[in-house]
Amino acid sequence: MNTTPHTVDVAAATPYRIHIGPNLLDDGSWLARTLRGRQALLVSDANVAPLYAGRVEAALQAAGPGLRIARHVIAAGETEKTLANFSGTIDALAALGATRDACVFALGGGVVGDLAGFAAACWMRGIDIVQLPTTLLAMVDSSVGGKTAVDIPQGKNLVGAFHVPRAVLADTATLRTLPARELRAGLAEVIKYGAIVDADFLHWLDAHRDALLGGDDAALAQAIARSCAHKAAITTRDPLEHGDRALLNFGHTFGHAIEAEQGYGDGLNHGEAVAVGMLLAARLSATLGLASRADAEALRTLLQRFELPVDVPAGLTPEALLARMRLDKKAQASGLRFILWNGPGAARIVADVEEGAVLAVLRAEG
Ligand code: NAD
Ligand code: GLY
C-alpha cells in the first residue's frame, strides 16, 4: 500500500481539511499555513509532550520565526479532563497574551483535544484550534466534528461547546508509540463506522486485520481516512446532533453505562466499553426483531478478531447498568433511546425501548 498522505475535506459551515499520513508533524510549512496570528499555545499531556511537542514547536518556529510559542502540559488520562485543567489552559493563554488571532494546537488523544478545544472555544469567545491527534481514537473520532468538553463529577462531557477545528493533522507515525491496548480501543471506533453506515468497510477491516493490529502505516491511514470521511459526512449533515449525528453513538449507551458503573480509570477503557456496547446493541436489535441474531454474532467474531472485549465485566449487574442508562443524557424524557441497527451498515435511532428487552439482553449476556 502506498503512504501518500490522505486528505478529507469537511464541508462544515467553516470548512476544514483533515491530513492523514506518516511524519506530518515535521511539516512546519503545513502547520504554519494554519496560523493567522503570531501566538501559538501547544497543549499536550505528560506522556505525549516528551515524545512529540519539541518536534512540533521546532517545525512551527522554523516556518514562522516571529511566532511566540508556549507549551501547556497536563497530566495524562480521563481524570484530567476537568474544569481545573480548563482553567489552567485559559491561564496559559492569558500568560501568552493570546489575541483573537492566536491558535491553540492540541497534541494528544481525545482528552487533550476535548480540553484544549473547549479552551479555544471560550478564549475571547472563540479562537482557532488545530487538532494534532496522536491516538487512533482521536484521529478517527474526537478530533473531527467540533465537540469539545470537560467532565464534572455529575457526568462526562457535561460542560462543553461545539467548536470546529481550523484543521486536523493526523500523523500516523505517532501511533507507533501508542500502547497496543489504546490502538485496539481506536479500532473499536473504526469498526463502529462500518457497523453504522458502511458494511463493506467491515469486510475490508477483517481482510486487513493483521496490518492494522501490526501498526502498518498505510493500512491505518486508509482506515482513518475512510472513518473520517464518514464522520465528516454525518457531522456536516447534522453538526449539532439534532438527528443523524446520534448514529455515531452506536454502542455508547451500553458503553457509557459500563464505564460509569465500573468507575472511570478502572476496567475497560472507552473504546473497549464501546466494543461491548456495540455487541449488546446488535443483540438488542435482534431481540426487538430489527436485525438477525447472526448479524450480531458476526459482529462479535469481528470484535474478537481485533482482540477487543465482548463481555460485560464481571460484577456489573443488569439492574445497575439499566439505572445508569436511565441517567444517560441520551435517555430522553420519553424513555430509553438507543442506536440500534437493521444489520451491518444500517444503524437507526430507536426511541422508547422497553426496559424489559434491555434487561433480557443484559441477563442473557451474563
Ligand atoms: P487519551 O487522550 O486519554 O489517550 C489515551 C492514552 O494514550 C493517554 O495515556 C495518553 O497520554 C496516551 N497517548 C496518546 N497518544 C500517544 C502516543 N502517540 N504515544 C504514546 N502514548 C500516547 O484517550 P483517547 O482514547 O484518545 O480519548 C478519549 C477521550 O476522547 C474521552 O475523554 C472521550 O470523551 C473523548 N471523545 C471525544 C469525542 C468528540 O467528538 N469530541 C469523540 C470520542 C471520544
Ligand atoms: N463521537 C460522537 C460525536 O462526535 O458526535
Q: Above 70 in pLDDT, residue 242?
A: yes
Task: Indicate whether residue 149 lines ligand 2 (CB < 6 A).
Answer: no
Would you call 189 a catalytic residue per the annotation? yes
Answer whether 223's CB lies under 8 Å from 202's CB: no
Q: Does 108 contact ligand 1 (Cβ within 6 A)?
A: yes
d(CA 66, CA 138): 30
Quote the percentage of the chain above a pLDDT of 70: 96
Catalytic one of 81, 156, 208, 249 = 249
Rounded to the nearest angstrom, the distance between the alpha carbon of 122 and the centre of ligand 1 is 21
The chain-wide mean pLDDT, for the chain, equals 94
Closest CA to 45 of 201, 177, 236: 177
pLDDT score of 330: 52
Query: What digits encode the pLDDT tens for the residues 333-358?
Result: 668 999 999 999 999 999 999 999 99
pLDDT tens by residue, 22-40? 999 998 878 888 999 999 9
Range with the lowest mean pLDDT among 7-11, 144-148, 234-238, 324-328?
Answer: 324-328
155 backbone dihedrals φ, ψ, rounded to 5°: 165, 170
- Per-domain boundaries in the chain: 6-177, 181-365
What pLDDT was estimated at residue 221? Answer: 97
Which atom of ligand 1 is nearest the CA belonging to 186? Answer: 25
What is the H or E stretch that residue 204 is in?
helix 199-207
What tens digit of pLDDT does each residue of 259-280 get? 989 986 679 999 999 999 999 9
230 lines ligand 2 (CB under 6 A): no
- Catalytic residue list contains 125: yes
What pLDDT, on the 0 to 100 scale, is given for residue 156?
Answer: 85
CATH hierarchy code of domain 181-365: 1.20.1090.10
* Sign of the torsion angle spanned by Cα atoms 280, 110, 139, 308: negative
Cβ neighbours for 132, distance < 8 A, ≥ 6 positions apart? 25, 56, 105, 106, 107, 108, 168, 169, 170, 171
Amino acid 5: pLDDT: 86
Question: Residue 272 corresponds to which cell in the numbers above?
Answer: 473497549
Average pLDDT over residues 132-157: 95
Under a CB-based contact definition with an 8 Å cutoff, are residues 20 and 5 in contact? yes
Q: Comparing 332 with 106, which gets the higher pLDDT?
A: 106
For ligand 1, say whether the CB of 160 is within 6 Å of any of its atoms. Answer: no
In this predicted model, what pLDDT tens digit does every residue of 298-310 receive, in sequence order? 999 999 999 999 9
- Comparing CA positions, the residue from 194, 208, 203, 210 lying closest to residue 250 is 194
- Length of the chain, please? 366
| pLDDT tops 50 at residue 101 | yes
> Closest residue (by CA) to atom 2 of ligand 2?
248
Please indicate whether residue 57, judged by its CB atom, sits closer than 6 Å to ligand 1.
no
* 184 has catalytic annotation: no
Which of 6, 72, 81, 147 is catalytic? The answer is 147
- Work out the angle between the directed axes of helices 318-327 and 252-262 (0-180°, nearest 10): 110
Domain at 6-177: CATH architecture: 3-Layer(aba) Sandwich (3.40)
Give the residue from 181, 173, 38 showing the smallest Cα distance to 103.
38
Asked if the model's pLDDT at residue 366 lies above 50, the reply is no
Question: Between vectors from CA 47 to CA 228 and to CA 249, what angle results, nearest 5°?
Answer: 35
**What element of type H or E holds 350?**
strand 347-353
